[in-house]
Chain A
Amino acid sequence: MVRPIDVLIEFDGPLTFTFERRDGGLALAHLAAVGTSARRYLASNTSKYIVSDLKGGLLSIREALQRSQLWIIDVSSDGVIAAAWHATSDNLPEGALPAEGVLLTPELENKQAADDKLARFVRSATDGQIAFGGAPVEHHSIELGFYGKFCDRANELLKQIAANLGLQKSPPLYVGMSFQSSYGVELRLGQTEPAFDDMFVKEFDDADKAREAFDQMMAMLMDEQQRPEAITMVKTSQPVRHEFGKILELISTHTATIVVRTRTQPEERKLSDGQAADRLVRVRRLGYPYNYLYVTGILIGGLTKKSNRTEPNFVIRVQKDKRDQDFRGPVSPGAIQKLGLVSLESPVRAKLSITDEDGKDQSYTLEDIDPVSDNEPHSIS
């Protein structure tokens, strides 16, 4: 059954769109011909990042379709696939695929025609571009000490973010000096080899996660308004916060500036040494927006009175993504009474303050707690 999910081009109906395959994966369909009782599409397996690149003008329609095995499918008016067969670009009739370089919309083509730098980034087919400025840069040369440390710290931050997203191996990050200016570099994510068992069912999974990790890192570094998932990661993962702080410290102490383009956000984003310094203070001191963690889960342990050896404490279990995560620690004086009113094994929403334990670990203090309904989804934010 072909039911459009995300319609990318429409004209009296969807012409290019994504749909869910029988195995649950995502496919891209592009209209090739129209009959009186069926429509013929070119289709291929796709991923959310291929679709994102297509929408952003980073991939042409032809490239997006050819990222995976190409199919021809005949779809009847009720959405049923009447026939399907493999195709290759060689055995398709001339003109079946849009020409090289044809983007999803004329607007995307016009935007690149008007912006040479953007067009050069698109042509580079890399995952990102980064340009350095400020004190470490002198006449198109960059101070090696700064540059080496920056690469090292960016690599470490990417590793921590990848681990946090559940990638078993961090994607290798390649740096290419193919810009005209010597202080600008291109970044390319390498591929991690999938385990044999996963080769056929996880065609895009690891590549998507690697891309997600890279996007998270760049968003964490560059976005003035941090993404909610980046804020949560900085609050919940001490190693991520530690590496994030180190790279911010490097930029601020070297009075450097960096300018970044990524495939997900091809427009330039800039970070100055002043912005890095401000963000560093907030990250290190766990100031806004990193000051409190909000969790919804089950209160599985708690003591409201001081006993001989133990201060009042709490344990809240959050079940998320088929994983149990326990948050535990002391209770602030203001929350003791409210904790006493909540029975064990009840669903709760709690506000926790975070304490960094000498840069090695972190602990939580219960600041507030309220019961919630049984069907409240578990969350960490």
Chain B
Amino acid sequence: MKCETPTESTGPSGEAKHDFSWLADLKSCPPPDAQPIDGTFYVFHDFDPPSTEADFRTAAQRGQFESLDECARRSNSVWSDLAALKGRVADLKKRYPLRPFYISEGHVKKEHGVVKDSDKSHCSFWVCGRTCMHAIFKRRVV
């Protein structure tokens, strides 16, 4: 996947302007309660540096969770709480000792897409078509 550094894109009144043309085949996707947000988020990945083929793929791209809502399947999982993600990864590390679990940090800006909370720390992130996960989450923290 070719991915540019995110570019600023705002509407006439300064609101974030997104390109979600890759979701155009779905009705009401991203959902109306997903909001542009400015904040630091964390993601988990298998390779270091993140693989362009295998990391940051959505459930739809991986062909998983077929029974879930298609719009949700086309989002990426991101975490707002590093400690919660580290705790989860520590539990998994015990169960999958040889599997590497890397965590990277990214500063998500409003123009990067929209975010919806699914629980206290896990969120669904629909990335604007003008950028991509690899360009946002670049600093490995674990």
Contact = CB atoms under 8 A, between A and B. Distances in A.
Interface in A4-47: 9, 11-16, 30-37
Contact of A32 (B59, B64, B99): B99
Nearest to B94: A102
A78 B64 CA distance: 10
A13 B47 contact: no
Name which of B51, B65, B98 has the most chain A CB atoms within 10 A of its CB.
B98
B54 A31 contact: no
Interface string A70-101: 00000001110000000000000101111100
Given A13-B62, A36-B54, A31 B99 contact: yes
B44 interface: yes
Contacts of A32: 96, 98-99
A12 B98 CA distance: 17
What DSSP secondary structure best describes chain B's contact surface? Answer: loop
Contacts of A104: 95
A324 to B, nearest CB: 38
Contact of B95 (A13, A33, A77, A102): A102
B94 A98 contact: yes
A31 B53 contact: no
B80 to A, nearest CB: 16
B47 to A, nearest CB: 7
A261 B77 CA distance: 40
A11 B97 contact: no
Contacts of B95: 9, 15-16, 61, 98, 102, 104
A148 interface: no
B38 interface: no
A106 interface: yes
Interface in B28-80: 44, 46-47, 51, 53-54, 59, 62-65, 77
B94 A36 contact: no
B84 interface: no
B91 interface: yes
Given A13-B59, A77-B63, A93 B94 contact: no
B120 interface: no
Contact of A12 (B44, B47, B63, B91): B44
B59 A37 contact: no
Interface residues of B, number: 22
What DSSP secondary structure best describes chain A's contact surface? Answer: loop
Contacts of A96: 97-98
A110 to B, nearest CB: 11
A96 B97 CA distance: 6
B92 A15 contact: yes
Contacts of B2: none
B88 interface: yes
Contacts of B96: 15, 30-32, 98
A106 B91 contact: yes
B77 A12 contact: yes
B42 to A, nearest CB: 13
Contacts of B100: 34
Given A14-B64, A36-B53, A95 B98 contact: yes
Nearest to B52: A36
A105 B77 CA distance: 21
Contact of A36 (B44, B51, B59, B98): B51
A36 B47 contact: yes
Nearest to A36: B54
A98 to B, nearest CB: 5
Contacts of B98: 32-33, 93, 95-96
Contacts of B65: 13
A118 B94 CA distance: 23
Interface of A: 9, 11-16, 30-37, 61, 77-79, 93, 95-99, 102, 104-106
Given A12-B44, A79-B63, A98-B95, 13 more contacts: A9-B95, A12-B59, A13-B59, A15-B92, A15-B96, A30-B96, A33-B99, A35-B54, A36-B54, A77-B63, A95-B98, A96-B97, A96-B98
Listed from nearest, the 4 A-B pairs whose CB atoms lie closest are A95-B97, A36-B54, A34-B46, A13-B64
12 contacts: A12-B59, A14-B64, A31-B99, A32-B98, A34-B99, A34-B100, A36-B53, A77-B62, A93-B98, A97-B97, A98-B95, A99-B97
